[in-house]
Amino acid sequence: MDKNKQNEIEAAVFRRLLDHLDNRKDVQNIDLMILAGFCRNCLSKWYKAEAEQRGEDVDYDAARELVYGESYDSWKEKYQQKATPEQLAAFDAIQKK
């Protein structure tokens, strides 16, 4: 497979991941952190970092908007739930590993 085709496929997979996360707003960032070790904010930070490595200046809020599909504050107000004691305990346990 040539590099251009690989880049196209990887970009399409990233878009599918964002679409999947957009369709699963019930999955909270803390759930993602507990199960996978990354969340929507991590994706935003990775996007910003990779853009900067390629000479592009991407604002963190702009990267978050790309990942969340709207401003972070708007998404947070509409969809973010308070973490349960069980989620906090599970998150704390993985932080200690």
pLDDT confidence of residue 2: 96
Contact predicate 93/39, CB 8 Å: no
Q: In Å, how far are 5, 8, 9 from 2, measured between CA atoms?
A: 5, 10, 11
pTM of the model: 0.91
Domain that holds residue 7: 3-95
Q: Which two tokens stand for residue 86?
A: 């069980």
Residue 1's SS3 state is coil
Q: What is the CATH number of the domain that holds 76?
A: 1.10.3340.10
Beta-carbon neighbour count of residue 95 at 10 Å? 8
Tens digit of each residue's pLDDT, the chain (97 residues): 999 999 999 999 999 999 999 999 999 999 999 999 999 999 999 999 999 999 999 999 999 999 999 999 999 999 999 999 999 999 999 998 7
In the chain, the number of structural domains is 1
Q: Which of 95, 75, 66, 97 is nearest to 29 (CA)?
A: 75
pLDDT confidence of residue 97: 79
Provide DSSP, 41-76.
Answer: HHHHHHHHHHHHHTT----HHHHHHHHHSS-HHHHH
